[in-house]
Each structure stands twice: as C-alpha cells, then as structure tokens.
C-alpha cells in the first residue's frame, strides 16, 4: 500500500470542497482543409473574427491551423459543452471547408506554399508572425502542421497546504506542488500514450522526398509502424540539434526557469548564420537557442497567464505556477471535438494521482533519461507483445506496470466521484483496463484495423471522419442566442485588433527590443 498516497487521499476525503475548486480547460488544434482534404490557402475566415484577439478561436503555426480555446471549468461536462459549442461555431462559418480532425496533417502543399499565420500589422500581431517565421527557418513548415489537444489543469489554492508541500510562502508551496506533479507526469506519461495514442499511421506525402523515416508501407499512400501508439509524439522528422541537448530541470521551479532563461539568451551558431533579417525583413526574433519560451517542445509545461509584453519566465518567477498544460494528447479522431468526456475524466484522475503520489527528485541534472526512454518506446512500439519498460533500473512488463498504476489512479478517481458527487471518474479508469489486457483494443490498434479491414488509406479515413464530424456539428447547430453571441465576439475581436493597430506608438524594431528587455533573470540568478 502506498502510505503517502493513502494519507493524502484521506486528507482530501475530509475536505472535498478543495477538489471542487479544480479547473480544467482545452486548447484544440485542427487544420482547415478543402473537400478533398488539401490544406486551405485562404485567409482566416472573417466570420470567425480576429485570430489575434478572439478569446476562443485563434490560429497556431499556420494561417490554416485553427486553435480553439475554452475558458477554465469546474466540471468536465461544462468543459465538453463549451468546446462543443466552439466547434459548432467554426463548422457553421467554414463554408465549403472543414476542420481536419486528426493530429497528423492533411495533404500539404510544398513547404514554400504553407501559409504562416497572420495577425495583422500591430506590433503584438507582428511579434507572433515573426516568431512563426523563425520556426519555419529553424525547423521547416511541415512539422509545424501537426496538431494536438492540450489539456490545462489547476487545483484549488488550498490543496498545497493540506497536502504538506513546503515553501516560504503560498506561492512557493504551490509551485513546489505543481513541479512535483510534473516530475511524476514525466515518469508515468507513457501510460497516456499507450491508452490514448491515436497516430500509428500517416500519409506518405507528409514526409518530404529523401527524409529517412524507418516506417513501413501499409498501402501506396500510407506509412505506419505496426506497434506504434503516437508517431506524433515520436522524434519522426523532428531534427533539431539546438534543442536536443536542452534538458530542463524539474526538481524545482527556479532551476527550471534558469535553464529556460539560458536557452532564450544563448546564441546558437547556425541561427547566427541566418541572422534576424533577410532582404530587409525580419525572419526570426533573435539568434538564440530558443526565440521565446514557448519554442521549447515538451509534453507538459508549467504555466502562468501573462500580460501584454510580459515574458513567461518573468511571470512564473514572480508569481509562481498557476496551472499545468498537458501537451502530449493526440486528437481523438472518433470524437467530433477531439476528446471524450471519459478521456477528460481519466486525465483529471491521472493528474490527481501525479500530485498525491510520492515524487522523488530526479538526479542532480534534474532530468530522468529512464522516463524519456520509456516514453519513446511506448510511442513507437507500445503494443509490441511482451514489451518491458524500465522502472528504477529494472525491467517490468508494460502490462504489469500499467495495471499497478490503474489500481492507484482508480483510488484517486473514487475520491473525485465522492467529492464531485458523480460516478464518471471510476468508470473512466475502469474503461482503460481492457486496453491493458488486450492491446488490440487501444485507439492506435483500432485505427490500423479500420485501415486494413476497409482497405482505406489514412488520408481517406481522416477525411471521411472529419467530414462526418463537420456534418454532425452543422446539424446540431447553434441556438439563436449562441449564434448572436458568436457574431458579437467576432465583431468585437476585429474591433480590438483595429484598435491595437491604431494605438501603436513605437516601431516594430523598438517593440521587439522592449520585448526582449522585459525578460528578467529568475530570482536568485
């Protein structure tokens, strides 16, 4: 029996109101495509408002890569209701286009023709655009078109004192709690990829000619790995020497921020050769290992809302971690909104387990190569019969370890059902046990079975699912009040963008310099 987990569960059982104060939110990405599944070349639809200032509908890397954002919610039902409404707004305003409901991209044009997101001429909008130009010259555009679903989660402030996290003040105790959660997430997130990974295959034309990949041919249009769970989260095609040696420390917030600060302030020779300008135009914000903090690619991030021109490092250093962002979840192609209520509830229980479970420090480096290796193996060969992972230097069969984890996550789910007065959490955990007993029931295996049994390519499967979801969303429609609110939000966002563009009083060069100057070294540095 896990003594610390049992003790903390008992404490929370006596204070269930604390768990009712938890909040969760979703950021869901998806490419706009035409009826044949080809990437849209059209601008962001005016009917959806401004991608810069709209609170719920924006774009990520590409002008065609939509990103839908919910507000934080105290319940999964409310969360799914909002992301569903946002999807219906989008579906009603895309005309003859639709939203690609899969993490691996639709048919992409040549690199040069993939449109980078445009946010208008304000300094704020140009900063976002130039940052994306930098991603293009550093990593290429194709990889930036991969989509995901990010799950944001926070606890009631009172939980950290109740659970006994240490620190000089409430901010320090909260940050220590979230960092402990992140360490355990790094240890156990392979389980999420096994249970929910949905990208074992991709279109052949996603890989540009000559790129080494090691994939097998499922048909003349589809490549795959037979036991993969999430090629999206593998190192497929993602070659970046600058970031390969960047191992951030998850033992404490200050060390984490210090290493991140070094990455955004240290020049990288290859980027110095490129420079920041070409033909008189900005092509990247700077020549450092990372242009900004968000360029660091990770499966989970500590987060804090920031003000205009405020840097995440500075905000986190001064006010601590506010919530965490889970970034490893594939879009569920079988769900119109990319995630089911069952999966969301499992994530809640999993994150609670990561918080309550003992979380030993990593090595002096603050990084755990054993955990990284487990994650990498599961995304590539997670359904391999007899697969074993490494736990504290010894091998353990994946099925055995997954079963042990589900037993303990189930205890956390039971507490959530008690605190929130429902039964959905225990059901969400129990629904995963069948996947552990039979890998062929995992989403990744089921997708491959569909492709084989129907003789359908990955592209045609994803297009069919996306079209079916678009029809269902359009048929569900919006109430008169919802449609009116959507129009008002779009109009207001366009007005806000115009106001920003009219109010700038400094040049973009001056704004970039002020943005860089806003970065402060973490406390103690």
Cα-Cα-Cα-Cα dihedral sign, residues 346, 348, 350, 353: negative
Which residues have a Cβ under 8 Å from the Cβ of 335 and sit 6 or more positions away?
101
What would the DSSP string read from start to end of 47-63? Answer: GG--TTT-SSEEE-SBT
Residue 279 belongs to domain with CATH number = 3.30.590.20
Domain count of the chain?
Answer: 1
Q: CB atoms < 10 A from the CB of 5, how many?
A: 17
User: DSSP for 350-400?
Assistant: HHHHHHHS------TTS--HHHHHHHHHHHHHTT-TT-EEEETTEEEEHHH
Q: What is the pLDDT of residue 1?
A: 55
Rounded CA separation 156/170 (Å): 12
Both tokens assigned to 124 = 């704020």
Neighbours of 41 (CB within 10 A): 13
**pLDDT score for 47:** 98
Give CA–CA dist 292/290, Å, rounded.
Answer: 5
State how beta strands 149-154 and 323-329 pair: antiparallel
Q: What count of other Cβ atoms lies within 10 Å of the Cβ of residue 166?
A: 9
Examine residue 391 and state whether it is found in any structural domain, yes or no: yes
Separation between Cα atoms, residue 338 and residue 30, nearest integer Å:
9
* Four-CA torsion 457, 458, 461, 466, nearest 10 degrees: -150
For residues 39 and 64, is the Cβ–Cβ distance under 8 A? yes
The number of angstroms, rounded, from the C-alpha of 310 to the middle of its chain's C-alpha atoms is: 22
Is 524 inside a domain boundary?
Answer: no
Contact 89, 54 (CB under 8 A): no
* pLDDT per residue of the chain (525 residues) written in tens, 0 to 9: 579 999 999 999 999 999 999 999 999 999 999 999 999 999 999 999 999 999 999 999 999 999 999 999 999 999 999 999 999 999 999 999 999 999 999 899 999 999 999 999 999 999 999 999 999 999 999 999 999 999 999 999 999 999 999 999 999 999 999 999 999 999 999 999 999 999 999 999 998 776 667 899 999 999 999 999 999 999 875 556 667 677 788 999 999 999 999 999 999 999 999 999 999 999 999 999 999 999 998 999 999 999 877 899 999 999 999 999 999 999 999 999 999 999 999 999 999 999 999 999 998 677 788 999 999 999 999 999 999 999 988 999 999 999 999 999 999 999 999 999 888 999 999 999 999 999 999 999 999 999 999 999 999 999 999 999 999 999 999 999 999 999 999 999 999 999 999 999 999 999 999 999 999 999 764
In a domain, 114, yes or no: yes
Q: Which of 325, 246, 292, 271 is nearest to 518 (CA)?
A: 292
In a domain, 185, yes or no: yes
For 387-417, write each residue's pLDDT tens digit. Answer: 999 998 899 999 999 999 999 999 999 999 9
506, 301 Cβ separation under 8 angstroms? no
Dihedral sign, Cα of residue 449, residue 452, residue 456, residue 458:
positive
Q: What is the pLDDT of residue 238?
A: 53
* Predicted local confidence at residue 330, as pLDDT: 98
- Predicted local distance difference test score (pLDDT) of residue 340: 98
The arrangement of strands across the sheet holding 201-203 comes to 201-203, 222-224, 216-217
How does 100-137 read in b/e, with b if 16+ C-beta sit within 10 Å?
bbbbbbbbbeeeeebbbbbbbebbbbbbbbbbbbbbbe
Return d(Cα 508, Cα 525) in angstroms, integer: 30
In a domain, 525, yes or no: no
Closest CA to 30 of 82, 70, 68: 68
Which structural domain, as residue segments, surrounds residue 102?
3-516
Pick from 260, 245, 251: nearest CA to 311: 260
* 321 within domain boundaries: yes
The number of residues in the chain equals: 525
In a domain? residue 523 = no
The token duo for 463 is 């297009």
In this prediction, residue 398 carries a pLDDT of: 98
**pTM to 2 decimals?**
0.97
């Amino acid at each position: 029996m896990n003594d610390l987990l049992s003790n903390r569960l008992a404490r929370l059982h006596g204070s269930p109101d604390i768990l009712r104060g938890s909040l969760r939110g979703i950021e869901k990405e998806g490419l706009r495509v035409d009826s044949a599944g080809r990437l849209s070349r059209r601008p962001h639809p005016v009917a959806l408002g401004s991608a810069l200032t709209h609170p719920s509908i924006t774009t990520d890397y590409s002008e065609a890569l939509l990103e839908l954002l919910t507000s934080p919610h105290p319940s999964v039902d409310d969360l799914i209701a909002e992301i569903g409404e946002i999807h219906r707004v989008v579906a009603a305003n895309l005309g003859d286009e639709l939203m690609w409901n899969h993490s691996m991209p639709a048919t992409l044009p040549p690199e040069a023709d993939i449109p980078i997101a445009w946010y208008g001429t304000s300094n704020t909008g140009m900063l976002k655009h130039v940052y994306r130009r930098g991603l293009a010259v550093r990593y290429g555009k194709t990889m930036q078109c991969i989509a995901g679903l990010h799950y944001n989660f926070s606890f009631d402030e009172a939980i950290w004192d109740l659970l006994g996290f240490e620190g000089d003040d409430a901010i320090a105790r909260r940050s220590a709690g979230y960092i402990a959660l992140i360490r355990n997430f790094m240890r156990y997130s392979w389980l999420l990829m096994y249970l929910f990974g949905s990208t074992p295959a991709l279109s052949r034309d996603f890989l540009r000619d000559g790129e080494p990949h090691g994939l097998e041919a499922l048909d003349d249009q589809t490549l795959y790995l037979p036991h993969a769970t999430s090629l999206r989260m593998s190192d497929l095609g993602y070659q970046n020497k600058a970031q390969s040696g960047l191992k951030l420390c998850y033992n404490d917030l200050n060390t984490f921020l210090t290493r991140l600060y070094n990455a955004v302030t240290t020049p990288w020779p290859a980027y110095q050769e490129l420079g920041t300008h070409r033909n008189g135009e900005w092509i990247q914000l700077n020549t450092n290992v990372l242009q900004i903090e968000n360029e660091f690619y990770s499966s989970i991030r500590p987060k804090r809302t920031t003000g205009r021109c405020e840097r995440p490092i500075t905000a986190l250093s001064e006010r601590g971690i506010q919530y965490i962002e889970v970034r490893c979840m594939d879009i569920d192609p079988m769900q119109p909104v990319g995630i089911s209520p069952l999966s969301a509830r499992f994530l809640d229980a999993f994150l609670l387990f990561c918080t309550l479970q003992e979380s030993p420090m990593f090595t002096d480096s603050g990084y755990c190569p054993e955990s990284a290796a487990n994650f990498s193996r599961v995304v590539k060969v997670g359904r391999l019969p007899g697969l074993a992972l490494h736990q504290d230097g010894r091998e353990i069969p994946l099925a055995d370890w997954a079963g042990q984890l589900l037993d303990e996550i189930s205890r956390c789910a039971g507490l959530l059902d008690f605190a929130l007065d429902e039964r959905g959490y225990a059901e969400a955990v129990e629904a995963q046990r069948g996947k552990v007993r039979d890998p062929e029931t995992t989403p990744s295996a089921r997708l491959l079975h569909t492709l084989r049994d129907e003789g359908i390519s990955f592209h045609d499967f994803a297009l069919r699912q996306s079209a079916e979801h678009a029809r269902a969303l359009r048929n569900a429609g919006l109430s008169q009040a919802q449609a009116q609110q959507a129009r008002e939000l779009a109009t207001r966002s366009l007005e806000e963008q115009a106001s920003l563009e009219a109010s700038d009083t400094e040049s973009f060069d001056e704004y970039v310099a002020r943005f860089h100057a806003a970065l402060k070294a973490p406390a103690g540095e």
